[in-house]
Amino acid sequence: MKKTFCLLTLILSSLLTACVEDNNPTHDYTTWQTITATNAQTIMEESENFILLDVRTPTEFQNVRIDGAILIPYNEINSRAVAELSDKNAIILVYCQSGRRSASAAADLAALGFTSVFDFGGILSWPYETVSD
């Protein structure tokens, strides 16, 4: 019960304090939230309903990734996300190598209508376990 409350509190506070970006002039405003790796890990531990999205290249993904991540390179978000991430209300945790591409992808996802997008930066600052091929 306490874990669920903590998760709900984190999500609600994140939504209430969401970053506002206007990276695409064809959209009004998009919202998404930057969180820490620790916050992302908490969501992953306490929720079964999230998507862990790696937005790096296929080669980077093969070399090292967070277990359970799916790959959609950041430059393919606009063409693939709606078809591959069908639940626009799902919690989406986005990361890349250092944080630049994940911020761009998070803004694009929000502009596409995804409502719970959380950018936790890069795998370089991920202090938890990773996997590789």
- What is the reported pTM? 0.79
**Amino acid 2: pLDDT:** 54
What average pLDDT does the chain have?
85
Domains detected in the chain: 2-125 (3.40.250.10)
**Amino acid 31: pLDDT:** 85
Give the 3-state secondary structure of the chain: CHHHHHHHHHHHHHHHCCEEECCCCCCCCEEEEECCHHHHHHHHHHCCCEEEEECCCHHHHHHCECCCCEECCHHHHHHHHHHHCCCCCCEEEEEECCCHHHHHHHHHHHHCCCCEEEEEEEHHHCCCCCECC
> 81-103, pLDDT tens digit by residue?
999 998 999 999 999 999 999 99
Catalytic residue among 92, 96, 111, 123: 96
**Amino acid 86: pLDDT:** 86
> 94-127, pLDDT tens digit by residue?
999 999 999 999 999 999 999 999 999 999 999 9
The answer to whether 19 is a known catalytic residue is: no
